[in-house]
Chains A and B, each alone.
Chain A
Amino acid sequence: NAGVTQTPKFQVLKTGQSMTLQCAQDMNHEYMSWYRQDPGMGLRLIHYSVGAGITDQGEVPNGYNVSRSTTEDFPLRLLSAAPSQTSVYFCASSRAGSYEQYFGPGTRLTVT
C-alpha cells in the first residue's frame, strides 16, 4: 500500500512551458485535492475532486487544469508556467465522510 504518490519530486521549467504533475493513490479514496504551499502562506487549495469525472475549483485555480478519469489518478496541468507558480505542490486524498487527508510527498517546482 503506497498511499499517495507524486511525480516528479523536483522540476525546473522555463516561463511559458507546460507540464503535468502526477498524483496517484491506492487507497480507493473518493476525494482528491491539489494544494500549493508557499513560505508563510500555509496550504492553499487549487482544485479538488469528489469522485471520478467530478472536479471543482479551489482558492487559487488560475493557470491550472485538472481532470479525474479514474478514482486513482488526479493529474495537475500547468498550461503556461509563470514564475508565480514556483511552489511546492501537494496532492492529498481522503475517504468520503472521513475527511482525514493523506498527503503525498510533494513536488518542488521552480519556474525561471
Chain B
Amino acid sequence: GQQVMQIPQYQHVQEGEDFTTYCNSSTTLSNIQWYKQRPGGHPVFLIQLVKSGEVKKQKRLTFQFGEAKKNSSLHITATQTTDVGTYFCAGRGNSGYSTLTFGKGTMLLVSP
C-alpha cells in the first residue's frame, strides 16, 4: 500500500530560525495536503497542492510539491513561538476515490 514518510520526526529551534519538514511518498500522488496540530488539539488544514512543481505561500510558510508528485516540503521562515505544533503531510493516491495517507508528522518546538 501507499506509504508516506516524513522527516524529521522532531525539531527544536530558536525563535527566528527557519524550519523545514519533508514528505516522501512511495507512489505518485494526485495531491498532497498539509495539516497543523497544536499540542492537545486536533489537526487543522493548512493547504492542498495539486500540480507538479507547485509552490504556494502563506505568510512565512512556503509549500512545495515535487515535479514527480512524490515529495513535498513545508518551510517556515523566521519561526515564532506560535508555530509550535506537529505538522503532518497527507497524500492522496491516483486511483478513483483514494483515501488520505498521513505521514507520522514533524513536531516543532520553538524556544523564545
Task: Give the interface of A toward B (CB within 8 A).
Answer: 33, 35, 40-45, 48, 50, 58-59, 90, 92, 99-106
Q: B43 within 8 Å of A by Cβ?
A: yes
Q: Is the interface of A mostly helix, strand, loop or mixed?
A: strand
Say yes or no: B104 contacts A99, CB within 8 Å. Answer: no
Chain A residues with CB below 8 A from B92, complex form: 99
Say yes or no: A103 contacts B42, CB within 8 Å. Answer: yes
Q: B85 within 8 Å of A by Cβ?
A: no
Say yes or no: B45 contacts A102, CB within 8 Å. Answer: yes
Kindly provide the distance from the CB of A45 to the nearest chain B CB, expressed in whole angstroms: 6
Binary flags per residue of B1-25, CB closer than 8 Å to A gives 1, else 0: 1000010010000000000000000
Task: Give the interface of B toward A (CB within 8 A).
Answer: 1, 6, 9, 31, 33, 35, 41-45, 48, 88, 90, 92, 97, 99-105
Chain B residues with CB below 8 A from A45, complex form: 99-101
Chain B residues with CB below 8 A from A106, complex form: 42
* Distance between Cα atoms of A104 and B42 in the complex (Å): 7
Q: Which residue from B33, B44, B101 sits with its C-beta under 8 Å from A99? A: B33
Say yes or no: A42 contacts B102, CB within 8 Å. Answer: yes
Say yes or no: B99 contacts A90, CB within 8 Å. Answer: no
* Most chain B beta carbons < 10 A, residue from A41, A42, A44, A100: A42
Say yes or no: A42 contacts B33, CB within 8 Å. Answer: no
* Distance between Cα atoms of A58 and B99 in the complex (Å): 8
Q: A58-B99, A99-B92 are in contact. Are A40 and B9 (CB under 8 A)?
A: yes
* Most chain B beta carbons < 10 A, residue from A90, A92, A99, A101: A99
Kindly provide the distance from the CB of A89 to the nearest chain B CB, expressed in whole angstroms: 11
Say yes or no: A44 contacts B33, CB within 8 Å. Answer: no
The 7 closest A-B pairs by CB, nearest first: A42-B104, A43-B102, A103-B42, A42-B102, A100-B45, A103-B43, A42-B105
Say yes or no: B44 contacts A103, CB within 8 Å. Answer: yes
Q: Which residue from B1, B6, B88, B97 sits with its C-beta under 8 Å from A50? A: B97
